């Protein structure tokens, strides 16, 4: 979702007009939606909301695309709704406001003056955003008795910004609720972690994640929804982004090319470099593709070492297709080759993690996977 560059209402007070606006009213309005598969978190929030004993700050954790921001937005919408009734709300785990009052309509249009969004700008959340937030929180909410601030991916803050946020969390002005999200708990200052109530979201079972994808993309086949769910590791938001960026065809083309036998060497090199280029174009999503390749090679290697023929554990089409792919992979490469492929994937993942040149990393990896370049162990 693109960050809004607008800032209006309360956030303008005390703002230096020459500074870039880094705090905004949220405009990613598509994200008020039912949450599936997170019953524990939903029940906890519904009970707390109904009791009226909300914490001053919540930290939503879980993998990217699992629904953290959606859940935070739903909570904000229900709390800001003019028809919100805590006594009626205890059963309403999916509460997202009445959808009709001025407040709900403002939330839908991204213009609610008491709902503010702070999200990474470039590499991360900037210190200026947190300073501006501190100023803003010094004023009372504009329309009601509550202001809600959603801070997305707070692990992207540098230490200076994190320390500034910490001061806000230590003494939040009354009438403000802070909702933080993070896909990387290890990247958070422990003091931030300890000053929020944590709501942990887990990746969904693949069938459920596929159902969410299908709800948003009814034109897709169920098989493609399942494949996207699998590729995203059960995170529907991530699966939807993959669909928009055509990641599934890329993964399927890569698999088909890798498992195709009998090509001339020049054709192999061309195929490898072409796919390396496509991976590079989608480098932000490439980690998921490498992860799935790793799982495939690991499974194929395991069946070779155990001397078993892979078979579906159940009778679903997906299980059958997965077993077929593992079978094709173990027939394509022997134990030594599979070990080398796994080592190549690991080395590429490590290189990408260290910010090595991705063009080079993908080209070397693909040439090794296509047997055009030998894998050289660092220990050799
Ligand atoms: Zn409402």
> CB of 233 within 8 A of CB of 288?
yes
Instruction: Tell how far the Cα of 82 is from the centroid of ligand 1, in angstroms.
Output: 5
Instruction: Tell how far the Cα of 172 is from the centroid of ligand 1, in angstroms.
Output: 26
Residue range 332-350: average pLDDT?
92
Residue 206 — left, alpha, or beta (φ > 0 → left; ψ -120 to 50 → alpha)? alpha
Instruction: Tell how far the Cα of 305 is from the centroid of ligand 1, in angstroms.
Output: 60
Residue range 348-362: average pLDDT?
93
Angle at 241 between CA 235 and CA 242, to 5 degrees: 85
Instruction: Tell how far the Cα of 102 is from the centroid of ligand 1, in angstroms.
Output: 7
C-alpha distances out from residue 337 to 81, 219, 263, 325, 340, Å: 60, 39, 17, 17, 5
What is the phi/psi pair of residue 246, to 5°? 55, 45
Please tell me which residue, 338 or 6, carries the higher pLDDT value: 338
Residue 199: pLDDT over 90: yes
Task: Give the whole-angstrom CA distance, residue 304 versus residue 143.
Answer: 66
Instruction: Tell how far the Cα of 35 is from the centroid of ligand 1, in angstroms.
Output: 18
C-alpha distances out from residue 100 to 50, 148, 177, 191, 304, Å: 21, 19, 23, 39, 60
Angle at 292 between CA 290 and CA 294, to 5 degrees: 70
Residue-wise pLDDT for 201-238, tens only, equals 999 998 999 999 999 999 999 989 999 998 998 999 99
Instruction: Tell how far the Cα of 153 is from the centroid of ligand 1, in angstroms.
Output: 27
Instruction: Tell how far the Cα of 78 is from the centroid of ligand 1, in angstroms.
Output: 7
pLDDT band at 29 (very low <50, low <70, confident <90, very high): very low
pLDDT of amino acid 379 = 59
Residue 1: pLDDT over 60: no
Domains of the chain with CATH codes: 9-200 (3.40.50.300), 245-369 (1.20.272)
Share of the chain above pLDDT 90, in %: 51
Instruction: Tell how far the Cα of 71 is from the centroid of ligand 1, in angstroms.
Output: 16
Task: Annotate 217-227 with b (16+ C-beta within 10 A) or e (fewer).
Answer: eeebeeebbbb
pLDDT of amino acid 310 = 55
User: Nearest to residue 136, comparing CAs of 4, 6, 23, 18?
Assistant: 23
pLDDT of amino acid 12 = 38
Least confident of 54-63, 240-249, 287-296, 318-327: 318-327
Q: Which residues pair with 179 in a beta bridge?
A: 58, 150
Structure tokens belonging to residue 313:
């554990």
Instruction: Tell how far the Cα of 33 is from the centroid of ligand 1, in angstroms.
Output: 14
pLDDT band at 264 (very low <50, low <70, confident <90, very high): confident
Instruction: Tell how far the Cα of 105 is from the centroid of ligand 1, in angstroms.
Output: 7
pLDDT of amino acid 20 = 34
Instruction: Tell how far the Cα of 326 is from the centroid of ligand 1, in angstroms.
Output: 51
* Average pLDDT across the chain, whole number: 83
Other Cβ atoms closer than 10 A to 145? 9
Instruction: Tell how far the Cα of 199 is from the centroid of ligand 1, in angstroms.
Output: 24
What is the phi/psi pair of residue 61, to 5°? -115, 160
- Reported in sequence order, the residue ranges of the chain that DSSP labels E, i.e. its strands, are 57-61, 115-118, 147-151, 176-182, 197-200
Least confident of 18-27, 36-45, 129-138: 18-27
């Amino acid at each position: 979702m693109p960050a809004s560059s607008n800032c209006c209402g309360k956030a303008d007070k005390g703002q230096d007009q020459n500074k870039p606006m880094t705090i905004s009213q949220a405009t990613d309005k598509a994200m008020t939606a039912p949450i599936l598969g997170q019953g524990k978190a939903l029940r906890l929030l519904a009970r707390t909301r109904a009791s009226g004993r909300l914490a001053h700050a919540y930290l939503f954790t879980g993998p990217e695309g699992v629904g953290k921001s959606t859940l935070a937005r739903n909570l904000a919408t229900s709390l800001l709704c003019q028809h919100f009734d805590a006594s009626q709300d205890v059963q309403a785990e999916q509460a997202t406001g009445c959808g009709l009052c001025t407040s709900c309509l403002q939330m839908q249009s991204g213009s609610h003056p008491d709902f503010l969004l702070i999200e990474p700008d470039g590499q991360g959340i900037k210190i200026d955003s947190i300073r501006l937030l501190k100023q803003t929180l010094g004023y009372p909410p504009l329309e009601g008795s509550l202001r809600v601030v959603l801070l997305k991916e707070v692990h992207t803050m540098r230490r200076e910004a994190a320390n500034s946020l910490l001061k806000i969390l230590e003494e939040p002005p009354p009438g403000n609720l802070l909702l933080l999200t993070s896909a990387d708990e290890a990247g958070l200052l422990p003091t931030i972690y300890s000053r929020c109530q944590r709501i942990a979201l887990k990746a969904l079972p693949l069938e459920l994640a596929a159902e969410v994808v299908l709800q948003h993309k009814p034109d897709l086949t169920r098989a493609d929804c399942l494949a996207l769910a699998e590729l995203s590791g059960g995170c529907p938001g991530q699966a939807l982004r993959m669909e928009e960026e055509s990641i599934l065809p890329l993964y399927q083309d890569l698999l088909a090319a890798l498992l195709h036998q009998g090509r001339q060497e020049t054709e192999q090199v061309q195929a490898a470099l072409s796919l390396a280029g496509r991976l590079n174009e989608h480098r932000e999503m490439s980690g998921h593709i490498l992860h799935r390749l790793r799982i495939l090679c690991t499974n194929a290697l395991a069946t070779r070492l155990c001397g078993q023929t892979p078979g579906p554990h159940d009778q679903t089409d997906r299980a059958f297709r997965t077993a077929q792919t593992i079978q094709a992979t173990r027939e394509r490469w022997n134990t030594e080759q599979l070990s080398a492929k796994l080592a190549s994937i690991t080395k590429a993942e490590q290189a990408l993690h260290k910010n090595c040149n991705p063009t080079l990393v993908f080209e070397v990896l693909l040439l090794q996977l296509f047997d055009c370049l030998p894998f050289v162990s660092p220990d050799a």
